Chains A and B, each alone.
Chain A
Amino acid sequence: MTRALGLVPAMAVATALFGGAAAAQTIKIGVNEPLTGAFAASGTYVVNGAKIAADEINAKGGILGKKIELVIEDNKSNPTEAAAVAEKLITSDKVPVLMGAWGSSLTLAVMPKLMEYETAMVVETSSSGKITTTGNPFIFRISPPSAVEAAAFKGIVDKLALKKVDFLVINNDWGRGTAEDFSKMMKDKGIGIGLVETMDQGAQDMSAQLSKIKSSDSETVIVTTAVDQLTLIFKQAAALGLKKRIITTGGSQNPDQIIAQAGAAANGTMHLTTFLPWFPDKTPNPEATNYFISEWKKRGFEFAGCTESFRGYDGIRTAAAAIEKAGKAEPAAIKAAFWDIDVKGLNGDIVFRKSGPEGKESGQSQPNVYLIEINDGKVAMKAL
């Protein structure tokens, strides 16, 4: 017992030595992402995108005459760790602003810490509606919650002549939220809603759900999940002879990875996405898109990762813009400045609108949403 107790101060000293020594010559931005655990692949992509943004900004001389420095911490895909990491970044590293935390449960766990330390965070990926509706004025989200995505899809729905749709969604806030918001929107449009099937996050075999969908009377299936499960679903749907039209949502589909891994099974599938790395000229900011993609390739990353990593890139640029606008690297000033920025993001203008209870609104930007189709193993804009 006594021996173990001796370790505690030793660790505290070690942490102070390794963690505390940092020059005030830079402006820090905290990055709270999953680098190990279930979401390691996605979190790593986002961090790589963030590094490109930081290097680009620093190459142009930094902001307010100082270089920016990303303090990147792994939240281990674990909500408890995500909260602890936020605490570390804010109190030990003294970052005036954060970006994070990929998954919704991770972001939700960080949110009380933002209130406690009155520090703002750019939310780059999480889609849960709750993040911007529960009255946390330190949240500035650049990814679309499913309601925003559903609203954007509304204009496309008529042209696809949908009659009745089934849903197959991942059983988390993202999938559930999508099923709910898209159903609501489609019901208003007079489209029938059939089955709503879910799959567990780590599930590898969706044959049972797909067999059920195969026997239903819908002609279209809306699928919401991450790229790995999408790949499996396309393969398994093909094996079951499921001939329905498949539309995926969520914007992290990585069509290139799907094409590479699902092969012909991916042909004819449609994807609702927020970023078009295949057609830089059609993006809202072609110059930035081209720069980002060339830099991404130059660093030897898989092209498929672009659709995930661009959010890290945009997130850091958003935070940097707010610091610049604030004129100083202080949390309160940066938080206030978020409301006044207008960043030309890779998927639309990042301008924050108020969302949530009055007096303590969170910020939410409205990214563009596009529909693409995979034909003969190639990504194409869906002609509408």
Chain B
Amino acid sequence: MKAAITVLAVAALATVPLWLRDPYLLNALITTGIFIIGAMSLNLLLGFTGQLSLGHIAFFGIGAYVSALTSLGFDIGLPGGARLVHEPWPPIVGLALAILVAGLCGYFVGLLSFRVRGAYFVIVTISFAEVVRLVALNWVELTQGPLALTNIPSIALPLAGFGELTLRTKLQNYYLVLVVGLVAYLLIARLVHSHFGRAMRGLMENETLAVSVGIDVTKTLTLAAVISAAIAGAAGSLYAHYIRIIDPEVFAFINTVTMVIMVISGGKGSLSGPGVGGLIFGLLPVALRPIMAPEAQWIAYGGVLMAILFVLPRGIVPSLAQRLVRRRSGAAALAPVALAETGVKKGA
């Protein structure tokens, strides 16, 4: 049942460009899709380990910068007068490096997350994102700081024996984002259903118990952070090559907030939550734009957010799933919905 809905949803998303010809709406879907990938990665951390990262945009931005700089090249001075010159590489290599470098940064933040929990972890991640933003802003020689990196090339797929295919059109980019999103979804789904996933959940629900049954807390949290950051880095790379200009604004706090909204409104700890929340809050501004004043659009955006949480406090997917289960079985579903949905038993 669950799998069938997922397959149907993906199939439906795959047909969108066939009937939706409006480039503006396709563009909105592509940028929303990129942020949904970021939100899915945030969900891995928040929904499955309980650690809230309010600096998640750092990994996204690092991915964007790594990918852009790989494909644009740079020339920086090193201490001692030497120079590090990098000639442009294909953007697809940039995507790979973005995943790698963002994952590496995730490793260090993950190490921290073992020591620092809850609100303190929130602030560490905010601080990390701010420091990274300020480095991007002030290390002008590498990042061009506020002057922005421009003319970032589009991603080109190498085709064996047939040269390469540069993804310039919206249609191509839509499918690129869809494919990357699907890969991220499957990766996260697999993780969550694995032994490792059970360890993460166990940890979130009862750490003492989890430790006593032999879960390696550091390893679990670090690995979750690495994978989460790597996926966010991939999303950042897609962003850089699609928008084709990045500047330190990419690290803006509001971008993290957007991802957090997508995850929690959709339902943290639910695989499809970020997708559902993401589509709603990614497309809500598009729907509001023609019908009200700019300030009113934001007020309505905040209002819809609050309303959803008042009606469905656990997020859309878990709350609706719970109601569905309740109606069907005629009894209150006591099991946490996130678990019911993914079919994972509580504890390790």
Contacts and interface: CB of A to CB of B under 8 A. Distances in A.
Contact of A104 (B9, B148, B317): B148
B244 A112 contact: yes
Nearest to B154: A112
Interface residue tally on A, bucketed by range: 35 or more
Given A7-B279, A92-B24, A2 B146 contact: no
Contacts of B254: 78
Contact of B6 (A1, A109, A176): A1
A93 to B, nearest CB: 9
Given A130-B148, A176-B145, A1 B286 contact: no
A11 B25 CA distance: 9
Main secondary structure of the interface of B (DSSP, over half): helix
B280 A15 contact: no
B87 interface: no
A91 B24 contact: yes
Contacts of B22: 12, 15-16, 91-92
Interface string A145-189: 000000000000000000000000001110111000000000000
Interface of A: 1-5, 7-8, 11-12, 14-16, 18-19, 35-36, 73-74, 76, 78-80, 83-84, 87-88, 91-92, 104-105, 108-109, 111-112, 128, 130, 134, 171-173, 175-177, 198
A176 B249 CA distance: 16
Interface of B: 5-6, 8-9, 12-13, 16, 20, 22-25, 27-28, 31, 137-138, 140, 145-148, 150-151, 243-245, 247, 249-250, 252, 254, 272, 275-276, 279-280, 283, 286-287, 289-291, 294-295, 297-298, 316-317, 320
What are the 9 A-B residue pairs with the smallest beta carbon separation, nearest first? A18-B290, A74-B294, A172-B146, A88-B24, A35-B294, A4-B276, A11-B287, A91-B23, A112-B244
Contact of B9 (A1, A7, A14, A76): A1
Contacts of B138: 171, 198
A177 B145 CA distance: 11
Given A36-B298, A79-B243, A80-B243, A105 B279 contact: no
Contacts of A19: 289-290
A11 B284 CA distance: 8
A8 B243 contact: no
A133 B224 CA distance: 44
A324 to B, nearest CB: 28
B147 A79 contact: no
A176 B272 contact: no
A306 B293 CA distance: 23
A13 B7 CA distance: 25
A8 B283 contact: yes
Nearest to A103: B249
Contacts of B151: 134
Contacts of A4: 275-276, 279-280, 316
Contacts of B250: 79
Nearest to B26: A87
21 contacts: A1-B6, A1-B275, A1-B276, A2-B5, A5-B12, A8-B16, A11-B286, A14-B290, A15-B290, A36-B298, A74-B289, A78-B252, A87-B24, A91-B24, A92-B24, A108-B247, A112-B244, A112-B245, A130-B148, A171-B145, A177-B147
B279 to A, nearest CB: 5
B150 A1 contact: no
Nearest to B254: A78
Nearest to A176: B146
Contacts of A198: 138
Contacts of A12: 20, 22, 25
A79 B245 contact: yes
A105 B63 CA distance: 19
Nearest to A19: B290
**Max chain B C-beta neighbours (<10 A), residue from A3, A35, A80, A88:** A80
Contacts of A108: 148, 150, 245, 247
A259 B243 CA distance: 41
Given A134-B150, A173-B148, A176-B146, 15 more contacts: A4-B275, A5-B279, A7-B280, A8-B16, A15-B24, A18-B291, A74-B294, A80-B31, A84-B27, A87-B23, A105-B148, A105-B249, A108-B148, A173-B247, A175-B146
A5 B146 contact: no
B320 A11 contact: no
B341 to A, nearest CB: 11
Contacts of A134: 150-151
A134 B147 CA distance: 12
Contact of A105 (B13, B146, B244, B317): B146
A209 to B, nearest CB: 14
